[in-house]
Amino acid sequence: MLALSLSLAACFGWGVADFLGGLKSRQLSVFTVLMVSSIFGLAVILAIVLVRGVAPPTNPVVLWAVLGGFAGLGAMFFLYRGLSIGSMAIVAPISATGVILAIGGVTLISAGSL
């Protein structure tokens, strides 16, 4: 039940963040919106790390996670840019299809194709 609750909270958080980010990117620069959201996200992550009191992992796979985070930041830039110049009713559904890339990659990896 905890996993379901956390999943729903994450979905709600992402949805609200994307909606508000899209609205704010119409008023402010996309870089400003990304900077503010990144600073708040980093602050939350650092608070969680400090509360847990566990040392960060030293696994080299963490580098891939960091690179994935930068790729996600680039994707957010393009999403907010699209939302700032286009119709939210068109841009949001098209950007939501990007998950197909992740599902396709997981499918290929689990099938042993990669």
Task: Give yes or no for residue 104 having a pLDDT over 60.
Answer: yes
2-12 pLDDT tens trace: 888 888 888 88
Question: What percent of the chain is modeled with pLDDT above 90?
Answer: 2
Look at residue 100 in the predicted model and tell me its pLDDT: 73
Task: Give yes or no for residue 112 having a pLDDT over 70.
Answer: no
Q: What is the phi/psi pair of residue 95, to 5°?
A: -70, -25
Mean pLDDT, all residues of the chain: 81
Contact 21, 92 (CB under 8 A): no
Look at residue 102 in the predicted model and tell me its pLDDT: 67
CA 46 to chain centre: 17
Q: Return d(Cα 31, Cα 96) in angstroms, integer.
A: 21
Look at residue 111 in the predicted model and tell me its pLDDT: 60
